[in-house]
Structure 1
Amino acid sequence: MVEAAYQGKALEVDREFYQRLADGGRELVDSFEIPIRSGRAWEVPQGYVCRLVTVEGPQVGDFNVWNRHDPRERLWASRTRQLQRAHVSTFDRLWSTLPFLRPLLTITGDTLAGYGRDSDGGRVHDLLGTRCDPYVNRMLNGEDFDYHCHSNLVRAVLPYGLTEFDVHDVLNVFQCTGLTDDDRYFMKTCPARPGDYFEFFAELDLLCALSTCPGGDLSVPLWGPDARDPIDVCHPIGVEVYRPDPALLEGWTPPERAAYANLHGLRAPRWGEG
């Protein structure tokens, strides 16, 4: 059996600590719902827990995350695929871009963890694909549509001084995806039910944004000869932010940015050198 390419002590996780966080006492400090075909951004302070909930039924959400104090540090989806896996769950982490390269968050709860791998090779919470967007839609359908996940995320982050250029490759929460036999991306109907959740611990002060995908539970084709408007299978997603009992954080240390010295083989010339 082939082993994962990326291994090392830096990838180890204190599962006992994060399990205590998942099971321990906490105080709800914020909650809201993101309506269908829309997006919202919100802050999660360092050391807090955030839960995404399918409150009414199956619904895919496209998730972006940044360091609240420096949006140049944001989710690095492709490296997270390598360091963790293509479909993430409890105790996996979402890693940030260079030159920071550290965990932005650690997943502490996932009621769909038991879904595993289905008969088609599908799994949930994927980093394989990215957000739907109006540019691809125009290319494939010849029509403009302003409520794809990319556009929803753009509108969501504008109040925080961010723009379209800050929106990045996503974590598709609650989405079931995989690769076909000829190595092409597929999407299946979301298996979530009312009350299912995906929960994470903020390793840094975070700015998060989520789009409720206009495809809803993805049971209706968005492109191709059978495509139709899937608005009837769209549902809101709930967001809950919790402050854990401070005692649960004892022994936890926030992650430092990457230790590499950033020299890249370059050196400053000595005084007097040309």
Structure 2
Amino acid sequence: MEQIHDIPANRPWSGLVKKGQTIRIIDSYGQQAIDTIFYAADDHGERYSSQDTMRVQNGAYITVGTRLISSEGNVMMTVTGDTSGRHDTNAGCCSCESNTVRFGHETRYLHACRDNFIMELAKHGMSKRDIVPNINFFMNVPISQNGAMTIDDGISHPGDYVEMKAEMDVLCVISNCPQINNPCNGFDPTPIRVVITG
């Protein structure tokens, strides 16, 4: 059975992905960052760990073969398909506060991924305290030799996707990033699609 979810620009979404199912996240129009956090479906205290994922992979990016590791050291998802090439798990999500610091006080009112996460997590009995460093699917974050990071123009094209197989029942929480002040969305946030099969 296939579930198709179209997520408008700037909006959050969440859904259950059962063990053995596959989730495909599609960048419908290209150059759209898709901020994502995974939680164990039966215990939201166990959630995606960017630090453990990078440590186990011995790499800074997510792509085919990457195992997404939980805060308890369990494999949550395995990346089985990726037409984009690499995905960030270092830069975190945008917030009204970080927008203000980086882009000026006049951007304080703009909607941000942190707001999306807070709204969506509330549906599952969680709060801002449950937001952890997330994956930024399709976001291009080059890391220089000295460790400096830059958010650069997106490298994804319309229809690019990343596909993952669930190794446990997981709650997937997405913020379809509303950022317009840096090039992570090509300065023009667009809709995305999520397809769950199995």
In structure 2, the residue matched to 1:126 is 88
- C-alpha distance after superposition, 1:178-217 (max 9, x if no partner): 2235432101111111111001011111001111112369
Q: Which amino acid aligns with 1:129?
A: A
* SS of 2:123 mapped into structure 1: helix
- C-alpha distance after superposition, 1:70-105 (max 9, x if no partner): 0110011012111112111111111011xx211011
* Rounded Cα–Cα distance in structure 1 between residues aligned with 2:184 and 2:158: 19
Matched, 1:77 2:32: no
* Rounded Cα–Cα distance in structure 2 between residues aligned with 1:186 and 1:166: 26
CA distance 1:217–1:69, shift in 2 (3 Å): farther
CA distance 1:217–1:109, shift in 2 (3 Å): farther
* Rounded Cα–Cα distance in structure 2 between residues aligned with 1:183 and 1:206: 32
In structure 1, the residue matched to 2:70 is 96
* Rounded Cα–Cα distance in structure 1 between residues aligned with 2:83 and 2:98: 32
Q: Which amino acid aligns with 1:207?
A: L
The answer on whether the counterparts of 1:137 and 1:145 sit within 8 Å (CA) in structure 2 is no
Match of 1:159 among 108, 123, 131: 123
In structure 2, the residue matched to 1:197 is 161
Q: Sequence identity, in percent?
A: 25
Q: Which amino acid aligns with 1:65?
A: F
The answer on whether the counterparts of 1:190 and 1:217 sit within 8 Å (CA) in structure 2 is no
Match of 1:39 among 12, 36, 43: 12
The answer on whether the counterparts of 1:60 and 1:217 sit within 8 Å (CA) in structure 2 is no
* Rounded Cα–Cα distance in structure 2 between residues aligned with 1:212 and 1:131: 11
Matched, 1:176 2:140: yes
The answer on whether the counterparts of 2:64 and 2:80 sit within 8 Å (CA) in structure 1 is yes
Q: Which amino acid aligns with 1:188?
A: D
* Rounded Cα–Cα distance in structure 1 between residues aligned with 2:168 and 2:133: 19
CA distance 1:54–1:217, shift in 2 (3 Å): farther
Residue 61 of structure 1, CA deviation:
0.6
The answer on whether the counterparts of 1:50 and 1:200 sit within 8 Å (CA) in structure 2 is yes
TM-score, normalised via structure 2 length: 0.91
Q: CA RMSD in A?
A: 2.0
TM-score, normalised via structure 1 length: 0.67
Gaps of 5+ in 1: 1-26, 114-123, 222-228, 244-274
Residue 170 of structure 1, CA deviation:
0.6
* Rounded Cα–Cα distance in structure 1 between residues aligned with 2:140 and 2:183: 11
The answer on whether the counterparts of 1:59 and 1:217 sit within 8 Å (CA) in structure 2 is no
Deviates more, 1:71-80 or 1:133-142: 133-142
Matched, 1:109 2:78: no
CA distance 1:110–1:217, shift in 2 (3 Å): farther
Larger Rg over CA atoms: 1
* SS of 1:177 mapped into structure 2: coil
- Where do residues 30-69 of structure 1 align in structure 2 (5 Å cutoff)? 30-69=3-42
* Rounded Cα–Cα distance in structure 2 between residues aligned with 1:66 and 1:41: 11
Gaps of 5+ in 2: none
Q: Which runs of 4+ in 1 moved over 3 A?
A: none
**Corresponding pairs, count:** 195
Higher strand content, 1 or 2: 2
The answer on whether the counterparts of 1:217 and 1:234 sit within 8 Å (CA) in structure 2 is no
* Rounded Cα–Cα distance in structure 1 between residues aligned with 2:109 and 2:17: 30
